[in-house]
């Protein structure tokens, strides 16, 4: 029977083993310090985004203040690390995330008591209020929050254990990867418990849950406390990774960022936020090396996702899994190739316009209007590159419009097959 | 015999409008009791008061001789009273099996636990499978509740209600909007799941009422004008004037 399978049955065991293998081997494939640092950030972001999705995806709570638990966990961890460095406190550095997690949990107990009295829009508003309040506190209490400069630390402060000092980046990566793996397993296991299931029930229909013995407020409160624990772990790891925690870590921008990660990845599936956290971290750190306008591109990307894939990347994956199972993916490929080519052309035109605007508006005073894009040197003060870019954008746009009709037609055909197989 | 459910001088007003006007009613243990009455008589409001959805304006409600007045719905449910809803009220994005399981978990003591794996709970699985069979949704066990047919959703609604093994079951118009065959199936289902339990139901279909109920109460303008066996109600002059009579003219 389906529900009587053990927790680690064949396919699931394979998935977790593969995940562990990927976490272990990644830094062997990407050995540059830039890559290791990005991988570490991804691991932190994955824990944080998954903990956020315990609220949004699993319990239906849209929080604008989840970074409060991440940030406070980070601050407590930084102070703990400094106390270890001073010799006033003894604790293995490897287990600092336990302290960060408990700090997150502690503040979850306090703030969650207030926020989870309500659901829906009031919850969202109160969570924003708490975030603003904590952000304001961070400037009022400089001894704890370190004022504008934040609090710095030395992660190698503890006693070396088996030669591990957490000085080198790769050692921190493995610390993060280990905690990331444990947190992923724990958060997944939580979805399989009575509380995890009732969180879904409260998300879908809180009123009905009241008439089968459950108090929805209590379910939301407990989920928030547990999710704060994991957010605290993520914050703790961030403190060790950057060796610096600032007021920004508790701020609303950080809270918004984790929302974007969860949403882009897809809140309807457990693995969605993992994809979202990985992708968003990659875009943020890779793209920001190439262009000043990276936030604009990121915003556009988010907009396109919301408009065309509101269920996030995870929903796109499951959609294509369905098509794959009835061996219909090949019918989609030609339309996808056409759309990708058209999209690429439109994107080239768009990039040209955006980069030229940035050159003229922000860089002209220092470096003039001469620039180069895709290996072509030109002057952004002349009309030719503008006209060319605009023309490419228009042509690409028209082609994209035509290609999207083709994609839609192919999908209609595929959906018919999927539905026919299902009802058969 | 002690009453399973007792209403004492229950009143409910919304602003200045009195909807329930002093209802006294004693439902005996193990009986099937129907509440009938014209539209707007306050039948659904009465259910909402008993199940804790709305607070009373005055009066008392006793469940198994314990005062439950003012308790929240979840507390009342834990004391052994479960209800269904007139407008289907299920968990649309969960499967049929998961819907039933939500109704089972509390009653088997699993509460808010986050250290037990729900799939490994044998007691839960057994009870859920039995209920899936009982409401005839075996074929739809793993289907999302939101895509079931209307009659199937109504059956699931009853399944969720009885899943926790309540002593007192309140069904609000369980056959509303069903075809004749569907109604016959629903009546058989209600009969089977309420075996040995106390049932109170609001129902408009008189064939269902007279076929299922041991006793009937007639609610008109927020007051019970008569309570008795189906025969007594049929022969009651006041009832004929207020309610049954008007229907025969239609």
Is residue A358 very low, low, confident or very high in pLDDT (cuts 50, 70, 90)? Answer: confident
Does residue A375 sit in the same domain as residue A342?
Answer: yes
Contacts of A2 in chain B (CB under 8 A): 142
Q: What is the mean pLDDT of chain A?
A: 92
SS3 content of chain A, % helix, strand, coil (to 5): 80, 5, 20
Contact A194 B116 (CB under 8 A): yes
Does the structure show a pLDDT above 60 at B249?
no
Q: Which residue has the higher pLDDT, A277 or A359?
A: A277
Do B113 and A219 lie within an 8 Å CB cutoff? no
Confidence label for A4 from pLDDT (cuts 50, 70 and 90): low
Number of domains within chain B: 1
Quick one: A287 and A143 in the same domain?
A: yes
Token digits of residue A95: 């287990």
Residue A292 has pLDDT above 60, yes or no: yes
Q: Kindly list the residues of chain A whose beta carbon comes within 8 Å of any beta carbon in chain B.
A: 1-7, 189-190, 192-198, 200-201, 203-205, 207-215, 218-219, 222, 226
User: How far is residue A286's CA from residue A38's CA, in Å, rounded to a whole number?
Assistant: 9
The minimum CA-CA distance between A5 and chain B, rounded to whole Å, is 7
Nearest CA in chain A to B165: A212
Q: How far apart, in whole angstroms, are the C-alpha atoms of residue A363 and residue A371? A: 10
Rounded to whole angstroms, how far apart are CA atoms A275 and A262?
8
Sort out which chain A residues have CB atoms less than 8 A from B72's CB and list them: 210, 215
Residues A171, A92 share a domain: yes
Q: For residue A381, what pLDDT is reported?
A: 82
What integer pLDDT is reported at residue A3 of this predicted model? 47
pLDDT band with cut points at 50, 70 and 90 for residue A2: very low
Give percent of chain B above pLDDT 90: 92
Give the pLDDT score at A372: 80
- Judged against a pLDDT cut of 90, whether residue B36 lies above it is answered with yes
| A7 assigned to some structural domain | yes
Q: What is the pLDDT of residues A29-83, one digit of tens each?
A: 999 999 999 999 999 999 999 999 999 999 999 999 999 999 999 999 999 999 9
A423 pLDDT more than 90: no
Mean pLDDT in residue range A172-180: 97
Range of the domain at B98: 3-249
The pLDDT tens digits for A12-24 are 999 999 999 999 9
| CA B207 distance to own-chain centroid | 18
- Write out chain A residues lying below 8 Å of B73, CB-based: 210-211
In chain A, how many domains are there? 2
Residue of A nearest to B83 (CA): A211
* CATH number, residue A156: 1.10.3470
Q: Give which of B84, B114, B120, B153 to mutate to test A binding, by max A Cβ within 10 Å.
A: B114
Q: Which residues of A touch B77 (CB under 8 A)?
A: 210-213
Do residues A267 and A292 both lie within one domain?
yes
pTM of the model: 0.93
Q: Are residues A331 and A210 in the same domain?
A: no
**Which one of B91, B113, B120 has the shortest CB-CB distance to A201?**
B91
For residues A66 and A49, the answer to whether their CB atoms sit within 8 Å is no
- For the segment B48-102, what is each residue's pLDDT rounded down to a tens digit? 999 999 999 999 999 999 999 999 999 999 999 999 999 999 999 999 999 999 9
Judging by beta carbons within 10 Å of its beta carbon (0-12, 13-18, 19+), is residue B149 exposed, middle or buried?
exposed
CB contact under 8 A, A212 and B51: no
Same domain, A233 and A331: no
In-domain check, residue A315 = no
Cβ–Cβ gap A5/B90 under 8 Å: no
Q: Is residue A125 pLDDT above 90, yes or no?
A: yes
Do A109 and A163 sit in the same domain of this protein? Answer: yes
pLDDT of residue B200: 97
Please check whether residue A269 lies inside any domain of the structure: yes
Q: How far apart are CA B125 and CA B164, in angstroms?
A: 13
Report the SS3 class of residue A207.
Answer: helix
Assess whether A160 and A237 both reside in one domain: yes
What tens digit of pLDDT does each residue of A229-241 get? 999 999 999 999 9
pLDDT class for A379, splitting at 50, 70, 90? confident
């Amino acid at each position: 029977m389906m529900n009587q399978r053990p927790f680690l049955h064949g396919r699931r065991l394979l998935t977790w083993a593969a995940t562990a293998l990927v976490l272990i081997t990644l830094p062997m494939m990407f050995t540059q310090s830039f890559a290791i640092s990005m991988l570490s950030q991804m691991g932190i972001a994955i824990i944080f985004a998954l903990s956020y999705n315990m609220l949004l995806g699993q319990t239906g709570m849209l929080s604008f203040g989840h970074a409060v638990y991440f940030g406070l966990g980070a601050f407590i961890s930084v102070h703990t690390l400094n106390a270890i460095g001073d010799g006033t406190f003894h604790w293995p550095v490897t287990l600092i995330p336990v302290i960060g997690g408990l700090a997150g949990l502690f503040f979850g107990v306090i703030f969650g008591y207030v926020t989870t009295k309500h659901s829906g829009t009031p919850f969202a508003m109160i969570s924003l209020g708490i975030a603003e309040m904590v952000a304001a506190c961070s400037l009022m209490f400089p001894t704890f929050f370190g004022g504008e400069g934040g609090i710095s630390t030395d992660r190698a402060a503890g006693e070396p254990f088996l030669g591990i000092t957490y000085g080198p980046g790769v050692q921190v990566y493995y610390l993060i990867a280990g905690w990331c793996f444990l947190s992923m397993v724990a958060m997944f296991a939580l979805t399989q418990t009575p509380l995890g299931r009732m969180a879904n029930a409260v998300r879908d229909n809180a009123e009905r849950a009241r008439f089968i013995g459950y108090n929805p407020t209590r379910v939301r409160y407990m989920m928030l406390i547990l999710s704060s624990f994991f957010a605290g772990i993520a914050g703790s790891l961030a403190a060790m990774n950057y060796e610096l925690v600032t007021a920004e870590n508790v701020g609303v921008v950080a809270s918004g960022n984790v929302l974007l990660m969860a949403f882009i990845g897809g809140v309807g599936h457990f693995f969605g936020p993992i994809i979202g956290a990985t992708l968003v971290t990659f875009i943020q750190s890779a793209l920001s090396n190439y262009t000043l306008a990276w936030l604009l591109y990121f915003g556009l990307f988010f907009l396109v996702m919301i408009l065309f894939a509101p269920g996030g990347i995870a929903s796109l994956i499951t959609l294509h899994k369905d098509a794959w199972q009835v061996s219909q993916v090949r019918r989609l490929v030609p339309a996808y190739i056409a759309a990708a080519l058209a999209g690429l052309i439109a994107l080239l035109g768009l990039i040209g316009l955006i980069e030229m605007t940035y050159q003229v508006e922000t860089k002209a005073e220092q470096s003039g209007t001469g620039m180069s894009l895709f290996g072509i040197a030109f002057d952004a003060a002349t009309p030719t590159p503008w006209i060319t870019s605009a023309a490419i954008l228009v042509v690409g746009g028209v082609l994209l419009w035509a290609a999207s009709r083709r994609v839609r037609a192919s999908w209609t055909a595929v959906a018919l097959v999927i539905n026919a197989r299902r009802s058969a | 015999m002690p009453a399973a459910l007792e209403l004492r001088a229950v009143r409910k007003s919304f602003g200045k409008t009195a909807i329930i006007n002093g209802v006294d009613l004693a439902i005996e243990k193990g009986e099937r009791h129907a509440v009938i009455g014209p539209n707007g008589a306050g039948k659904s409001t009465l259910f909402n008061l008993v199940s804790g959805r709305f607070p009373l304006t005055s009066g008392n409600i006793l469940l198994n001789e314990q005062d439950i007045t003012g308790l929240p719905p979840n507390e009342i449910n834990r004391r052994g009273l479960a209800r269904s809803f007139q407008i289907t009220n299920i968990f649309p994005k969960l499967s049929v099996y998961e819907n039933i399981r939500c109704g089972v978990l509390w009653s088997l003591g699993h509460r808010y636990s986050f250290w037990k794996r729900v799939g490994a709970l044998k007691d839960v699985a057994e009870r859920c499978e039995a209920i899936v069979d009982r409401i005839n949704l075996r074929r739809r066990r793993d289907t999302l509740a939101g895509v079931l047919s209307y009659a199937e959703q109504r059956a699931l609604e009853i399944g969720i209600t009885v899943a926790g093994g309540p002593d007192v079951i309140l069904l609000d118009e369980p056959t509303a909007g069903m075809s004749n065959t569907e109604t016959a199936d629903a009546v058989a289902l209600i009969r089977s799941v309420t075996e040995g339990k106390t049932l109170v139901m609001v129902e408009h279909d008189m064939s269902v009422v007279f076929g299922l109920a041991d006793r009937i109460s007639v609610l008109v303008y927020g007051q019970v004008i008569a309570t008795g066996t189906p025969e007594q109600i049929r022969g009651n002059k006041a009832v004929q004037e207020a309610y049954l009579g008007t229907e025969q003219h239609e």
